[in-house]
């Protein structure tokens, strides 16, 4: 997705994958394309292109990288692995869905931010058509999982509950499974950092996350450790933010 086109939820997913690959010490080059959604085998961004293989979404990417011999979660026992997967689902279920809701179902955000950004690489009327099509798709999904009836306050409350759970699980540890980061840390970082640093019509979403100081410290820690050293790649994280560092 191009720089001005990318939306909150896709940015979050993309950052999560970048963080994961950095944690595995695998070099990654970030490329933006307006038709990225169509290039991806599952219709979702981000995807990685390695040699002649294309793998999309964090789950399959983790599996792919594992098959190549790099894994962050080998040191975990069975119960911990179960917990890790459960928390990853929680983030997907609540944070990602809330991001999608905010982007596509909240009318103010849709008008001011989503439609203009999503359609920006295309000429009129294609930009409006594609944006409406995507919006219709997302609203269908929301309806199927029962989120269509939710009000913005309820969605924000869900985000708060999710952040509370993450904050309690993290506690005072540096990473979710103590000393070493795993794909869960990458996923949580991707979403929380994006929420904290993306400018939306209102600050309510990022305020919810800011309530939990250990989560903010967690994001800062990962940013410093994995993103600031790298000149070329760190520009991708600061491109979309209000500023490179968190307040």
Partner 1 sequence: MAAPMELSCWGGGWGLPSVHTESLIVMAYARFSGAPLRMSAVDHSWSAPQGDVPVLISEDAVIAQPAKILNYLRKQKYNADYELSAKQGADTLAYIALLEEKLLPAILHTFWVEAENYCSVTKPWYASRIPFPLRLYLPGKMSRKALNRILLMRGEPPLYRLNDVEAQIYRDAKECLNLLSNRLGTSQFFFGNTPTTLDAFVFGFLAPLYKVHFPKVQLQEHLKQLHNLCRFCDDILSGYFRLSVTDG
**Max Cα separation, the chain?**
54
171 binds partner 1 (CB under 8 A): yes
Binding to partner 1, residues 117-156 (CB under 8 A): 140-141, 144-146
Which part of the chain contacts partner 1 (CB under 8 A), choosing from 14-22, 37-45, 63-71, 200-208? 37-45
Contact flag: residue 173 with partner 1 (CB under 8 A) = no
Site membership for partner 1, residue 178 (CB under 8 A): no
Tell me how far, at minimum, the Cβ of 108 lies from partner 1, in Å.
Answer: 25
Q: In the set 66, 70, 85, 239, which binds partner 1 (CB under 8 A)?
A: 85
| Number of residues in the chain | 247
Distance from first CA to last CA of the chain, Å, rounded?
Answer: 27
Beta carbon nearer to partner 1, 27 or 145: 145
Whole-angstrom distance, CA of residue 57 vs CA of residue 121: 23
Among 35, 42, 63, 199, binds partner 1 (CB under 8 A): 42
Whether the CB-CB separation of 196 and 246 falls below 8 Å is answered with: yes
Q: Are strands 53-56 and 47-50 parallel, antiparallel or unpaired?
A: antiparallel
Q: Considering beta carbons, is residue 156 or 200 the nearer one to partner 1?
A: 156
Residue in 41, 32, 25 with CA at minimum distance from that of residue 7? 32
SS3 sequence of 110-154 = HHHHHHHHHCCCCCCCHHHHHHHHHHHHHHHHHHHHCCCCCCHHH
Which of residues 133, 161, 173, 235 is near partner 1 by CB under 8 A? 161
Nearer to partner 1, 57 or 233 (CB): 57
Question: What is the spatial distance between Cα 221 and Cα 217, in angstroms, rounded to a whole number?
Answer: 6
33 binding partner 1? (CB under 8 A): no
61 near partner 1, judged by CB under 8 A: no
Binding site residues, partner 1, CB under 8 A: 42-44, 78-79, 81-83, 85-87, 89-90, 92-94, 140-141, 144-146, 161-162, 164-166, 168-169, 171
């Amino acid at each position: 997705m191009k720089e001005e086109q990318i939306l909150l939820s896709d940015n979050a997913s993309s950052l999560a994958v970048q963080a994961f690959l950095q944690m595995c010490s695998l070099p990654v080059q970030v490329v933006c394309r307006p038709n990225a959604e169509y290039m991806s085998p599952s219709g979702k961004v981000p995807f990685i292109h390695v040699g002649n293989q294309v793998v999309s979404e964090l789950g399959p990417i983790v599996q792919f990288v594992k098959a190549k011999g790099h894994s962050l979660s080998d040191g975990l026992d069975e119960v911990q692995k179960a917990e890790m997967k459960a928390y990853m689902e929680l983030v997907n279920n609540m944070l990602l869905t809330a991001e999608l809701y905010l982007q596509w179902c909240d009318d103010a955000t849709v008008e001011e931010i989503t439609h203009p950004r999503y359609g920006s690489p295309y000429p009129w009327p294609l930009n409006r058509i594609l944006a409406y099509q995507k919006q219709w798709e997302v609203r269908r999904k929301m309806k199927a999982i029962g989120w269509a009836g939710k009000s913005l306050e309820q969605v924000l409350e869900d985000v708060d509950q999710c952040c509370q759970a993450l904050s309690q699980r993290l506690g005072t540890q540096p990473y979710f499974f103590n000393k070493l980061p795993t794909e869960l840390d990458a996923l949580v970082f991707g979403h929380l950092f994006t929420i904290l640093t993306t400018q939306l019509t209102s600050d309510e979403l990022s305020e919810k996350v800011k309530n939990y100081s250990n989560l903010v410290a967690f994001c800062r820690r990962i940013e410093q450790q994995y993103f600031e050293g790298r000149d070329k790649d760190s520009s991708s994280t600061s491109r979309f933010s209000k500023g490179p560092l968190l307040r």
